[in-house]
């Protein structure tokens, strides 16, 4: 069966779903294709720290109602080292705030709104492939319970993540890959316990990095730096709590994380990845399909939403007046923000984590940098303005 639409979107994560909503507001038709089930997509736990600009994008798309009720606004972060905490206040330094609202909750909201509106969203598509995206009429093919299906479209948006099919469909000779794997992993848990704080705390410790965050007033999201060779079996619950207590302790002893049942536990590699360009013909990559950042800088989902904002403006300009200038400049426009986020995420990661190859000189330099960052107003402002999100570049058609 053959179907026609204007934009075919591969992937029902935050990037693909937001793109479908933003295009709909521009009266541009789209179909979203996802190879996983709705249940899997809605319960896939990922980051949940939203820049103020991301919150504004979601609100403008009509997707912010539940986020406004349940999201937790953060006005700063704490950086803790040598057993002492140092708070960085975002409003006083930048006039902006952050919001904690789980990525899976954002996805649930987007799916519900799209399906309630009766707009096409296809789950559990098998054997997905894209073709002819170097021509004027790309196609997306897949199989469902009714057999083989084909979607003819004007553009394809590859929003299917790092392991998706869109980026590998581009000829190898076209793309340049930039990759860095850090000598550490994050062990993350979701605990049914009262969060240690209602703001995120980053901890530099001689035993390794730790992070304290939250998902709700009763759910804590906690992380430990672990070795790349570690497996979940190496970290029974008792060991996780013991290590969290050690690394997050204050020098005066006036702090202890509240323990609770561990609902989820996983180990995530820490890496940086960028592919250039983020487009080829009429295929445009967005989100993790094009770039991955270390989680330390809280940029992953925010970069995906920024990509989609740029892509929507470019596609809307094409249908409005036939101009391709924004489409042609999509990759360059996105990559400037991507590399700024990569730089910031790399800096936060190397400043806060232990590297097994570091010398005693390196460790002392780290402490000196942490001392400077938390005592200099200029340094705190630089961290804060990158953390809350750099301004969006205006769409300029030459």
Active site residues: 74, 202, 295, 299, 387
Residues 276, 338: Cα–Cα separation, whole Å: 11
Beta partners for residue 158, in sequence order: 10, 285
First CA to last CA distance, the chain: 41
**What kind and span of H or E run contains 208?**
none
Beta partners for residue 180, in sequence order: 272
Could you tell me which of 220, 231, 215, 237 has the C-alpha nearest to residue 267?
231
Residues 92, 104: Cα–Cα separation, whole Å: 31
Please count the other Cβ atoms lying within 10 Å of the Cβ belonging to residue 104: 18
Residues 5, 312: Cα–Cα separation, whole Å: 15
Could you tell me which of 155, 103, 168 has the C-alpha nearest to residue 304?
103
Please count the other Cβ atoms lying within 10 Å of the Cβ belonging to residue 264: 12
Residues 365, 372: Cα–Cα separation, whole Å: 11
Whether 286 and 157 have beta carbons less than 8 Å apart is answered as yes
Whether 257 and 212 have beta carbons less than 8 Å apart is answered as yes
Indicate the angle between helix axes 103-116 and 14-25, nearest 10 degrees.
40
> Which residues, 6+ apart, have CB-to-CB distance to 9 below 8 Å?
16, 19, 20, 30, 31, 32, 33, 156, 157, 159
Residues 146, 177: Cα–Cα separation, whole Å: 38
């Amino acid at each position: 069966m053959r179907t026609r639409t204007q934009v075919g979107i591969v992937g029902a994560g935050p990037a693909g779903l937001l793109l479908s909503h933003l295009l709909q507001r521009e009266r541009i038709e789209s179909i979203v294709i996802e190879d996983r089930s709705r249940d899997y997509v809605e319960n896939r736990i990922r980051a949940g720290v939203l820049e103020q600009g991301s919150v504004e994008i979601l609100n403008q798309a009509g997707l912010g109602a539940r986020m406004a009720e349940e999201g937790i606004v953060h006005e700063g972060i704490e950086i803790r080292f040598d057993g002492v905490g140092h708070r960085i206040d975002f409003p006083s330094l930048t006039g902006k705030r952050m919001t904690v609202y789980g990525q899976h909750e954002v996805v649930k909201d987007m799916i519900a709104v799209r399906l309630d509106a009766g707009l096409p969203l296809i789950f559990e598509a098998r054997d997905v492939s894209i073709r002819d995206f170097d021509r004027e009429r790309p196609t997306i093919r897949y199989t469902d319970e009714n057999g083989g299906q084909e979607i003819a479209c004007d553009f394809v948006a590859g929003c299917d993540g790092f392991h998706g099919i869109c980026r590998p469909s581009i000829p190898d000779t076209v793309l340049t890959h930039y990759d860095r794997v850090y000598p550490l992993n994050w062990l993350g848990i979701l605990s049914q316990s009262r969060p240690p704080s209602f703001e995120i705390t980053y901890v530099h410790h001689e035993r390794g990095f730790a992070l304290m965050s939250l998902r709700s007033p009763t759910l804590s999201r906690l992380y430990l730096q672990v070795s790349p060779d570690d497996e979940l079996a190496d970290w029974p619950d008792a060991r996780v709590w013991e290590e969290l207590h050690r690394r997050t302790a204050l020098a005066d002893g006036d702090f202890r994380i509240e323990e609770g049942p561990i609902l989820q536990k996983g180990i995530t590699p820490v890496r940086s990845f960028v592919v250039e360009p983020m487009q080829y013909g009429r295929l445009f990559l967005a989100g993790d399909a094009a770039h991955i950042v270390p989680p330390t800088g809280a940029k992953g989902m925010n970069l995906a939403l920024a990509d989609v904002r740029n892509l929507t403006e470019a596609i809307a300009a094409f249908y409005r007046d036939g101009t391709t200038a924004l489409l042609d400049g999509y990759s360059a426009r996105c990559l400037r923000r991507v590399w700024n986020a990569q730089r910031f995420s790399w800096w936060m990661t190397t400043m806060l984590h232990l590297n097994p190859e570091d010398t005693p000189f390196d460790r002392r330099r780290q402490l000196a940098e942490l001392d400077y960052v938390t005592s200099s107003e200029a340094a705190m402002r630089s961290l804060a303005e990158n953390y809350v999100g750099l301004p969006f570049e205006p769409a300029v058609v030459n």
